[in-house]
Structure 1
Amino acid sequence: MRVRNPKRRLTVYAAVAMTGALALSGCGANEDEGSNNDKSEVEVFSWWTGPGEADGLKAMQADFEKKNPGTKFTNAAIAGGSGTQAKAVLASRLQNNKPPDSFQGHAGAELLDYIKAGQIEPLDDFFKQNNLNSVYPKQLLDQITYKGHIYSVPVNIHRSNVLWYNPEILEDAGVDGPPTSIAEFITALKAVDAETGKVPLSLGAQWTADHLLENVLLGSLGTDAYNALWEPGADWGGAAVTKALNEFAEIMKYTTMEAASTDWQGAAKAVVDDKAAFNIMGDWAYGYFVGAAPNGLGKKLDTDFKYAPAPGTEGTYMWLSDSFTLPKGAPHRGGALAWLKEVSSKEGQDLFNPKKGSIPARTDADKSLYKGYLQYAFERWNSPDIKLAGSFWHGVTANNKWHTDIDTAVGLFLQNKDVGKLQEALVNAAENSGQ
């Protein structure tokens, strides 16, 4: 697949960010190698328990069981949006040498710690044996490659910078369509607050504020300057970042955060329940909105909700990819490899993604299965003029330490509302990231 310069730029940043990790030898994951090729069972660890994602996993599981009738599938999913709880449990298991057979991880810098610690196997042979190098986009393969080796199997592509909105509330507030800039967004939030009595912008658990932050940074700074933040020596203390953080602080004045137990779903649901005007969330929300009950809400696009790129981000796809790994010492290595075959297969991805609210990582997917918003996402991802920006919160550009330090900084900001302290903390987080 030919990759244009805008798409290649992000992978260069990721490659720079990944320098300094230890090289792992060998190609790994040869399906005929290894002392343990037990296929009697596979324990799959993920955080897919919510509406849409759980349905997608269930569909893939059914296809896996059909193809592997002698293999018991154990769903070890841990609840918690964005994997916050699951990653803590996973870290404990890996430290105690009790890995699952395969675990979910965001493609990109999020996997660096596992690579450095020698906790996951390279998958070059697996990709070659299953002819995957020709069906994944080159820019995605570049992102999951470190020092010539591939370490995960992507199942999808998500877009992080999506504005979901309630058209009736906007009309009542006198807002003429979705805002296209940060300044317009702030004006719209003020109008909703003054004219309707509804929540201008809904948030969920704390991580949804981190998610909002990355969207405001992208919308305020622009694609190139946002991507540059993840390069070594980036200027997090500059005036442009100060301006973006002040805009973030202003936007936060018009938010209502749901209880942590409701996670992102409660915040998204507020939009289609006519309680909130806007919600900035990844496109997994689409699967939740349109999915059938009991897990989905059964809502209709263009009637109950609409979508647009997050303010200021038109023409840019802030992306992330869910992927699966092969842990070293997997108890049922044969089962794990069979699962990775399912994850990487055209059938598996076409079963999973329409329910999850994402598009396939493979380029040969059945386009007819992707309707409504997903058709739009499919076309935008594959557009030759789209720019890419990696989601820091969802693991593309920031390693786990950096990710945690940003979350801590945002958590403190939610308490003290001090932009200066937030920027200082973000500067320190970048300097101490170890990337």
Structure 2
Amino acid sequence: MSVALAAVAALGLAACGSGNSSDSSGDASAGSTGAYTPKEGGAGGDVGVFTWWAEGSEKKGLDALVSEFEKQYPNDKFVNLAVAGGAGSNAKAKLASDLANGNPPGSFQGHAGAELTDYILADPPQIEPVNDVINALGGEKVFPKDLLDRLTVDGNIYSVPSNIHRANVVWANPKVLDKAGISETPKDIKGWIADMDKVKKSGVNTPLSIGGTWTQVQLFETVLMADLGAEKYAGLFDGSTKWDSEEVKTAVNDFKTLLTYTNKASDGDDWPDATNMVIDGKAAYNVMGDWAVAEFEAKGAKDGEDYVYFPVPGTDGVFDFLADSFTLPKGAPNPDGTKDWLMLVGSADGQKAFNLAKGSIPARTDVPADDFPKYQQSAMESFKSDTIASSIAHGAAAPLAWTDDISKATAKFYSTKDADGFLKDLTAAADKNVVK
């Protein structure tokens, strides 16, 4: 078994059964050593926080967290180290350089799940366990056990989750659909493609909007989920499903067909432009994580009137999971200040403020759903009952190196449209990262 596969297995990343139990109690993990007790008002000093939340609804979410941090820990000084770039493509490169050069920030944003294994397995490790913070926040009493299991490696938890996002969401313009004569949600990818034909014939040049490479990877992962189902999709990352299987071939060809209905995009195109095409009626559909809901609201669009949403056809009952989380880097310049930040990120007040602004849902189970708009309430309900699948594009399904290989293969495919070549590249990436 390769290091990558061992790490994924340790994180329990196979899609779990329906239901996320949150009524258990006890320590956050077997390796817990007590709970962190912050000083009143905070430890004092600078707390440099590295994210890719530099604009749009993401920045609003960060600003909401910072406001709460300043209230609860007035002795600490927040230092914004944000680097622009959707899904962190630019930020991760700079972060890797800073960590390699012994210049860690106070804390950095990472997608919860397999993405963090690169930092955990580095020699020497680049992040520290935060079990004491998780315990101080309430452990399994306030965080779903399934979520904590996905954060745990060898009995230790290495990040504090700030939210839960769903990636397999279609955002649609109902006026564009009405014009095309579409009144029902398609049940599978083939039905969705048929509806895109109707949209195209109605005079809309771009039935499906996309952005740069990471948005295409996200679209592709949802097609994989639709055509393989959650269990076989999860098997792609533990070796039980082969990347050159007939189901994956079907998904690749469906993905290829979907791309014939999209706008032209370059790698640097970020997600808001694609979402705005739906808001402006220039596209019928966009597959985007539920951070998009904040973009719709910022533009004054009304839920159910100016936009509608539904799971990617074929994935109803599957929750394509990702979570933003924050870490304690090894050698952080102000570790107690960092733990103050982590306490705020994981607190009920912090999660309410952050998720209301960002469009995601709290990772905690004790934040009242009534405080949130309609979409987020529906997402909270789905997260409790749906089968959970882990996102490729957002670091939950595979370590960074493997995700990078999939991203490169997707970018190449977008240019060539060579389905056989794409399958070979995906299989080679799996062979390199799983099968030794």
TM-score normalized by structure 1? 0.90
**8 A contact 1:104–1:325 mirrored in 2:** yes
SS in 2 for 1:300: coil
Query: Using the alignment, how far apart are the partners of 1:77 and 1:190 within structure 2?
Result: 41
Counterpart code for 1:221? L
Query: Using the alignment, how far apart are the partners of 2:94 and 2:34 within structure 1?
Result: 25
Query: Using the alignment, how far apart are the partners of 2:234 and 2:10 within structure 1?
Result: 7
Query: CA 1:85/1:368 → structure 2, altered by over 3 Å: closer, same or farther?
Result: same
**8 A contact 1:162–1:282 mirrored in 2:** yes
Aligned to 2:12, which of 15, 24, 35? 15
Query: Using the alignment, how far apart are the partners of 1:128 and 1:208 within structure 2?
Result: 35
2:148 counterpart residue number: 141
Aligned to 1:97, which of 102, 105, 110? 102
Query: Using the alignment, how far apart are the partners of 1:66 and 1:38 within structure 2?
Result: 14
**1:45 and 2:50 matched:** yes
Aligned to 1:79, which of 72, 79, 84? 84
2:415 counterpart residue number: 415
**8 A contact 2:204–2:283 mirrored in 1:** no
Query: What is the Cα deviation at residue 197 of structure 1?
Result: 2.9
**8 A contact 1:199–1:256 mirrored in 2:** yes
**8 A contact 2:291–2:358 mirrored in 1:** yes
Structure 1 segments unaligned to the other structure (5+ residues): 1-10, 18-24, 291-295
Counterpart code for 1:368? D
1:284-303 to structure 2, matched below 5 A, reads 284-290=291-297, 296-303=298-305
**8 A contact 1:13–1:231 mirrored in 2:** no
1:61 counterpart residue number: 66
Deviation track 1:310-362 (CA, whole Å, cap 9, x = no partner) reads 11100111111110000010011121010001001000000000110000000
2:3 counterpart residue number: none
1:357 counterpart residue number: 359
What's the Cα RMSD here? Answer: 2.1
Counterpart code for 1:73? F
1:406 counterpart residue number: 406
1:156 counterpart residue number: 163
Query: Using the alignment, how far apart are the partners of 1:375 and 1:38 within structure 2?
Result: 36
Structure 2 segments unaligned to the other structure (5+ residues): 1-7, 15-29
1:97-116 to structure 2, matched below 5 A, reads 97-116=102-121
Query: Using the alignment, how far apart are the partners of 1:56 and 1:266 within structure 2?
Result: 19
Query: What is the Cα deviation at residue 192 of structure 1?
Result: 1.1
2:397 counterpart residue number: 397
1:191-270 to structure 2, matched below 5 A, reads 191-232=198-239, 234-270=241-277
2:20 counterpart residue number: none
SS in 2 for 1:74: strand
Deviation track 1:236-287 (CA, whole Å, cap 9, x = no partner) reads 1111111111111111111113455540000001001010000001101001
**8 A contact 2:10–2:153 mirrored in 1:** no
SS in 1 for 2:284: strand
Query: What is the Cα deviation at residue 227 of structure 1?
Result: 1.3
Query: Using the alignment, how far apart are the partners of 1:28 and 1:104 within structure 2?
Result: 24
Query: What is the Cα deviation at residue 14 of structure 1?
Result: 4.0
Query: What is the Cα deviation at residue 371 of structure 1?
Result: 1.3
Aligned to 2:319, which of 314, 317, 320? 317
**1:184 and 2:191 matched:** yes
Query: What is the Cα deviation at residue 66 of structure 1?
Result: 1.1
SS in 1 for 2:411: helix
**8 A contact 1:258–1:267 mirrored in 2:** no
Aligned to 2:336, which of 323, 329, 334? 334
Query: Using the alignment, how far apart are the partners of 1:174 and 1:130 within structure 2?
Result: 50
Query: What is the Cα deviation at residue 38 of structure 1?
Result: 6.1
Aligned to 2:181, which of 138, 161, 174? 174
Query: Using the alignment, how far apart are the partners of 1:395 and 1:145 within structure 2?
Result: 15
SS in 1 for 2:56: coil
**1:70 and 2:72 matched:** no
**8 A contact 1:41–1:72 mirrored in 2:** yes
Query: What is the Cα deviation at residue 15 of structure 1?
Result: 3.2
Query: What is the Cα deviation at residue 125 of structure 1?
Result: 2.0
**8 A contact 1:14–1:397 mirrored in 2:** no
SS in 2 for 1:73: strand
**8 A contact 1:170–1:177 mirrored in 2:** no
SS in 1 for 2:270: helix
Query: What is the Cα deviation at residue 127 of structure 1?
Result: 2.0
1:272-287 to structure 2, matched below 5 A, reads 272-287=279-294
SS in 1 for 2:105: coil
Query: CA 1:62/1:29 → structure 2, altered by over 3 Å: closer, same or farther?
Result: farther
**8 A contact 1:99–1:327 mirrored in 2:** yes
SS in 2 for 1:234: coil
1:20 counterpart residue number: none
Query: Using the alignment, how far apart are the partners of 1:92 and 1:260 within structure 2?
Result: 22
Query: Using the alignment, how far apart are the partners of 2:399 and 2:60 within structure 1?
Result: 29
Aligned to 1:376, which of 356, 375, 378? 378
**8 A contact 1:169–1:196 mirrored in 2:** no
Counterpart code for 1:371? P
Query: Using the alignment, how far apart are the partners of 1:257 and 1:13 within structure 2?
Result: 39
Query: What is the Cα deviation at residue 27 of structure 1?
Result: 5.6
SS in 1 for 2:197: helix
**1:120 and 2:127 matched:** yes
Deviation track 1:218-251 (CA, whole Å, cap 9, x = no partner) reads 1111111111111135311111111111111111
Count of residue pairs brought into register by the alignment: 408
SS in 2 for 1:129: helix
Counterpart code for 1:310? V
